[in-house]
Structure 1
């Protein structure tokens, strides 16, 4: 039987940062939850997606900016490194597929053309 661990992240780009031979993209996702008064409020959580593939990194560098709506899908991977002689364990969300759904500029233009009352 084949086993796997996958992630699916859709949200807005925060930062895009080159780290060594990888690209790290922080993506915000909103979750609606009830507060103590019973009212709904949005909570924003950030996830960092790591890109190793050169072709995907080039696409992101050339076409993706802060505020763009994106979707990333891929594997979840445990990793570790040493810091001050001690092991540090991390969980990576590795993008095997990455799509630009809409740019911030496209959404801003649509909102300007379709004002809310």
Structure 2
């Protein structure tokens, strides 16, 4: 049996940070919840995803812009690191699928 942890996000791009071997993208997803009474409130949550694939990184560099509506899917990886004697824990969202659903102007 194969075990896995996956994620899928549909949202708008807020930031693209391309570095020499990795690209980080912030994607905003909106969640609805009930507020006081019967009022619905939209909560926005920024998800940071990481792209290692050279082909996907090139696609993002050439065709993707802040504000575009995208679908991002991939796997989750927990990791930790030490800084100043303190252990910090992170969950990385590693992109396996990336596509633009609509440009910002749509």
The TM-score with structure 1 as length reference comes to 0.84
Cα shift at 1:97:
0.6
Deviations along 1:13-54, whole A, 9 cap, x unmatched?
Answer: 001113452111110111111101321121111111110111
> Where do 5+ consecutive residues of structure 2 fail to align?
none
Cα shift at 1:85:
3.4
Structure 2 residue 84 is the aligned partner of structure 1 residue 84: yes
Cα shift at 1:87:
2.4
In 1, distance between residues paired with 2:24 and 2:2?
Answer: 28
Higher helix fraction (1 or 2): 1
Deviates more, 1:51-60 or 1:15-24: 15-24
The TM-score with structure 2 as length reference comes to 0.93
> Where do 5+ consecutive residues of structure 1 fail to align?
108-117
1:62 counterpart SS class: helix
Whose radius of gyration is greater, 1 or 2? 1
Cα shift at 1:69:
0.3
Deviations along 1:32-82, whole A, 9 cap, x unmatched?
Answer: 111013211211111111101111011011111110000111100012222
Count of residues paired in the alignment: 106
In 2, distance between residues paired with 1:59 and 1:33?
Answer: 35
The aligned residue for residue 95 of structure 1 is: 95
Deviations along 1:68-112, whole A, 9 cap, x unmatched?
Answer: 00011110001222212332211001100100111102x1xxxxx
